[in-house]
Amino acid sequence: MQKSLKIALTAVFAALHSTLYFLSFGLWRNWAIYLEPIEGIVLGPWAGFSAALIGSVVGRMIKPDVFWMFGIIAEPLGVLMIAFLAKREWLPVLLTYTVMLTAYFSHPFGMRLPLWTILDILLAFALIYPAAKLSRMGVQDNARRLQFSLVLVSFIGTVTDALSRVFLFVPVGLYGFFGLSYDEVFWVFTTGATASYIEDFIVVVVVFIVGVPLLLALQKIQGFKYPIT
């Protein structure tokens, strides 16, 4: 694929990512998260990561957020993990999860916080290898098989976004930056977990309904193959 087309697609997705950042509907993350699965699958690791990073940074420059450091790391990393899985590369994803989860459970807070608040993260960790092996992105013209692969990959990518925020909040110590005690961190986790689980479900539903027709349509474009990087 021509370099100019790759740059153009990266710019388009960056603009979409930035635009969706301004939208929210009651849950704690913005609507850019619903773009992340398609962003990673179509653009691939490096173009996808770049688009999400540019989009998240630009969006927060236009609309500043006190929690800006979470989004500009979590969103690009989520896209990157989706892109790796779409290319059947499971090891980078497994290593990322292993490092972050080890750091979390090694922290005094991580050993005390309720396990049920991160059950989606633990499930995603267990699904990394199967999701990569079952992935047929870009070569799968069977709608049902593509749906199954897309749901697995999208779920893991969405949860990666959440895991990155947990990693930054607890092991990296941003809870201290915000002056929060353990009791306040406990409240954040127990009240935020439900919203996070709901959001996981919404993302999966959205990509199930919208993502499969879109990806199948892209496969029919002569000379266009994804992931592009």
The Cα-based distances of 80 to 43, 139, 143, 161 in angstroms read: 10, 20, 24, 10
| Other CB atoms within 10 Å distance of the CB of residue 59 | 25
What does the pLDDT read at residue 227? 83
Residue 51 has pLDDT above 80, yes or no: yes
Please name which of 124, 159, 157 lies closest in space to residue 40, comparing C-alpha atoms. 157
Evaluate whether residue 26 is within a structural domain.
yes
Evaluate whether residue 34 is within a structural domain.
yes
CA distance 33 to 195: 14
- pLDDT tens sequence across 166-214: 999 999 999 999 999 999 999 999 988 888 898 888 888 888 888 888 8
Please name which of 80, 72, 170 lies closest in space to residue 118, comparing C-alpha atoms. 170
Evaluate whether residue 123 is within a structural domain.
yes
Evaluate whether residue 229 is within a structural domain.
no
Evaluate whether residue 224 is within a structural domain.
no
Residue 24 has pLDDT above 80, yes or no: no
pTM of the model: 0.91
What does the pLDDT read at residue 25? 59
How many structural domains does the chain have? Answer: 1
Domain that holds residue 131: 3-219
Q: What is the mean pLDDT of residues 26-45?
A: 83
CA torsion sign for 170, 103, 203, 194 is negative
Evaluate whether residue 226 is within a structural domain.
no
Evaluate whether residue 191 is within a structural domain.
yes
- pLDDT tens sequence across 110-134: 999 999 999 999 999 999 999 998 8
What does the pLDDT read at residue 33? 86
The Cα-based distances of 179 to 163, 174, 175 in angstroms read: 21, 9, 6
Percent of the residues in the chain that have a pLDDT greater than 70, as a whole number? 93
Residue 145 has pLDDT above 80, yes or no: no
Q: What average pLDDT does the chain have?
A: 89
What does the pLDDT read at residue 68? 82
Evaluate whether residue 228 is within a structural domain.
no
For 107, the enclosing helix (H) or strand (E) is: none
